[in-house]
A and B are shown apart, each in its own frame.
Chain A
Amino acid sequence: GAVVSQHPSWVICKSGTSVKIECRSLDFQATTMFWYRQFPKQSLMLMATSNEGSKATYEQGVEKDKFLINHASLTLSTLTVTSAHPEDSSFYICSAKFAGPYTEAFFGQGTRLTVV
């Protein structure tokens, strides 16, 4: 399967600071990338969908100004959690899709964010 690399795997930051998470498709071009959040023992909650070169589409209830998404190239998308607070602590996962309608999405290994 295709490889999606997410970095960092875990990060601890102080309340009020910003954190950037990177998601790279290593061996394919990803026209669409997705960002999810997962709470303990819960399923994946889609936060936003991003297409290369255009603004991300955020799901209802997700703050655009807090979770900044940039999809500057066909292999890289970033999620920046701005002015992080303890309630932002969670497991964030990205996924990437090939071009075309009938294709699966491949996931990164996830980032555990802890805000103290």
Chain B
Amino acid sequence: EDQVTQSPEALRLQEGESSSLNCSYTVSGLRGLFWYRQDPGKGPEFLFTLYSAGEEKEKERLKATLTKKESFLHITAPKPEDSATYLCAVQGQGGSEKLVFGKGTKLTVNP
């Protein structure tokens, strides 16, 4: 069974204080690993897709990396507007199209 574990559950940073969020996964053949951002009371907003170990993607202050066992979401010099819950999900090689989500990391960036 595919599983995703995210850590930490919650993270508080000062504005400008860089850090990383972790997503560990077990899957029978990875088709894709996805990062989403979710604001309270809203649906998840797509950030990145990573397909193979060694791949990296960047968007503004965010950078996602992937190994065979985990993915990191690096946040460089965060701003208060980066505060949100960040969700990681995987899609396995089985015939199903579904994503398996972690519980997320709630990030709070204080000014």
- Chain A residues engaging chain B, CB cutoff 8 angstroms: 1, 4, 6, 32, 34, 42-44, 46, 49, 91, 93, 95, 97, 101-102, 104-110, 112
The number of residue pairs between A and B whose CB atoms lie closer than 8 Å in the complex comes to 53
> Can you list, as one digit per residue, whether each of B29-52 has a CB less than 8 Å from chain A (1) or not (0)?
001101010000111111001010
**Looking at chain B's contact residues, is the secondary structure mostly helix, strand, loop, or mixed?**
loop
**Which residue of the partner chain, among A44, A97, A109, contacts B42 with CB atoms under 8 Å?**
A109
**Looking at chain A's contact residues, is the secondary structure mostly helix, strand, loop, or mixed?**
strand
From residue B66, how far is it (CB to closest CB) to chain A in Å?
Answer: 14
Given contacts A44-B101, A110-B43, 20 further A-B contacts (CB under 8 A): A1-B45, A1-B46, A4-B43, A34-B97, A34-B98, A42-B103, A43-B103, A93-B43, A93-B44, A97-B97, A102-B31, A104-B46, A104-B49, A105-B34, A105-B46, A106-B46, A107-B43, A108-B43, A110-B41, A112-B41
